[in-house]
Structure 1
């Protein structure tokens, strides 16, 4: 079985998380509320994909990206999502690929997939360690 690697970016600000309403025309998870992300392209590293996908989807450049965890997400394909937490960025966030983006309380975020729910729980579990300098 082929596994498709993806990066997911969890933008966090003031106890809130940025989520997208996926476009209804997307092949995977159409219309769902989710943590933004995208597929790695052939030969691309996770870090390269992360920077490219953030620019393509939100038109910002992250100042930091902390790896959180990797989780499988079975959809029409089996995806391995590599989650990164971003707390600082340059530019104003725009929704370039999703129908909309909005901020939600991190402890009550209406994400639709089990993988995204687990990733947000993981932030709560390890957050004292994520933000240490």
Structure 2
């Protein structure tokens, strides 16, 4: 099975994470609550995809970011999602592709995708261990 690489961005503000309700017309995971992200394009690096997707999806440019982990997400295709953490950015967050985006508590959130749940749990684990991310 072919692997499709993606990037997702865990945006943090205080003790909240930005999540999206995916558009109902998306081919994969329609209407699910998820960490925002998108597919890497042919020849793109993870960093290039991250910067492009943040601009296309949320109209922002990160001031700093760090890779958190990479996880497989079997949906209609097998995705390898590279998760990044950012807590500083330029621009006003706008929902340009999702039905909506909103802030949720890091400790109680409505994520529907298992890989996203694991990535957020990994962020909390590292944060509780005193590791600086983002």
TM-score bracket, normalised by the shorter chain, equals over 0.9
Contact 1:66–1:130 under 8 Å retained in 2: no
Give the secondary-structure state (helix, strand or coil) at the position aligned to 1:116. helix
RMSD of aligned C-alpha atoms? 0.9
Segments of 5+ residues of structure 2 without an aligned counterpart are none
Q: How does 1:1-133 map to 2 (within 5 A)?
A: 1-127=1-127, 128-131=130-133
Whole-Å separation in 2 of the counterparts to 1:36 and 1:58? 9
Question: How many residues were matched structurally?
Answer: 132
TM-score when scaled to structure 1?
A: 0.97
Segments of 5+ residues of structure 1 without an aligned counterpart are none
Whole-Å separation in 1 of the counterparts to 2:25 and 2:133? 36
TM-score when scaled to structure 2?
A: 0.96
Q: Give the CA deviation at 1:9.
A: 0.2
Q: Give the CA deviation at 1:130.
A: 2.5
Whole-Å separation in 2 of the counterparts to 1:59 and 1:125? 29
Give the secondary-structure state (helix, strand or coil) at the position aligned to 1:83. strand
Whole-Å separation in 1 of the counterparts to 2:68 and 2:17? 14
